[in-house]
Structure 1
Amino acid sequence: MQVWIGRNGERFGPYGEDEVRQWLRDGTCRPEELGWYEGMTDWRPLGELFPDERPASGAVPPPPPPFMGVHETAEPEYAGFWLRFGAWVIDYLILMVPFTAISLSMGLGAAMTRLFAEMEKDQTAAITAYAATAQPITYVLLVIGFVYYAFFESSKWQATPGKMAVGIRVTDTEGRRISVGRAAGRNAVRLLNAFTLLVPMVFYVVAAFTQRKQGVHDLLASTYVLVGRADKVASPAPRGRTGGSFDA
Structure 2
Amino acid sequence: MSEEVIQYTVAPAPPEPPRVPVRYAGFWIRFWAYVTDLIIVGAINGIILLPFIPNGGREFTIGFWTLTGVISTIVLYLYFLLMTKFSSQTLGKMIFGIKVIRKDGNLPSWSDLVFREIVGRFLHRVLVVTNLLYIVVGFAERKKGIHDMIADTRVIHTNK
TM-score, normalised to structure 1's length?
Answer: 0.52
2:12 maps to amino acid: E
Identify the residue that residue 78 of structure 2 maps to in structure 1: 147
Structure 1 position 92 matched with structure 2 position 38: yes
Counterpart position of 1:83? 29
RMSD: 2.8
Establish whether residue 32 from structure 1 lines up as the match of residue 12 from structure 2.
yes
Inter-partner Cα distance in structure 2 for 1:36 and 1:169: 24
1:33-79 deviations in whole A, cap 9, x for unaligned?
51367xxxxxxxxxxxxxxxxxxxxxxxxxxxxxxxx6x2x652110
Give the aligned partner of residue 100 of structure 2.
170
State which structure, 1 or 2, has the greater radius of gyration over its C-alpha atoms: 1
- Given candidates 180, 186, 201, the residue that maps to 2:110 is 180
State the identity as a percent.
Answer: 25
Matching residue's letter, 1:162: G
Change in Cα spacing, 1:144 to 1:87, as seen in structure 2 (3 Å) is same
Aligned CA distance change for structure 1 residues 79 and 101 (closer, same or farther; 3 Å): same
Q: 1:161 aligns with which of 88, 91, 104?
A: 91
Distance 1:210 1:131 in 2: 43
Higher relative contact order (Cα pairs below 8 Å, separated by 6+ residues): 2
Further displaced range: 162-171 or 130-139: 130-139
Q: Which runs of 5+ in 1 are unaligned?
A: 1-30, 38-69, 115-128, 234-248
4+ long deviations beyond 6 Å: none
* Partner-residue secondary structure (3-state), 1:170: strand
C-alpha distance in 1 between matches for 2:115 and 2:96: 23
Taking the TM superposition and a 5 Å limit, the aligned residue runs for 1:109-148 are 110=55, 113=56, 132=61, 135-148=66-79
Relative to structure 1, is the Cα distance of residues 196 and 138 closer, same or farther in structure 2, using a 3 angstrom cutoff?
Answer: farther
1:140–1:185 CA distance, 2 compared to 1 (3 A): same
Number of positions where the alignment pairs a residue of Structure 1 with one of Structure 2: 147
Note the residue ranges of structure 2 that are not aligned, 5 or more in a row: 1-10
Provide the secondary structure at the position in 1 that maps to 2:104: coil
Indicate whether 1:228 and 2:144 are aligned. no
Q: Is the 8 A contact 2:121 2:147 kept in 1?
A: no
Alpha-carbon separation, structure 2, partners of 1:213 and 1:137: 35
Counterpart Cα distance in 1 of 2:61 and 2:132? 28
- Deviation digits for residues 145-194 of structure 1, max 9, x if unmatched? 11111111122x31111101100000111111001221111012333577
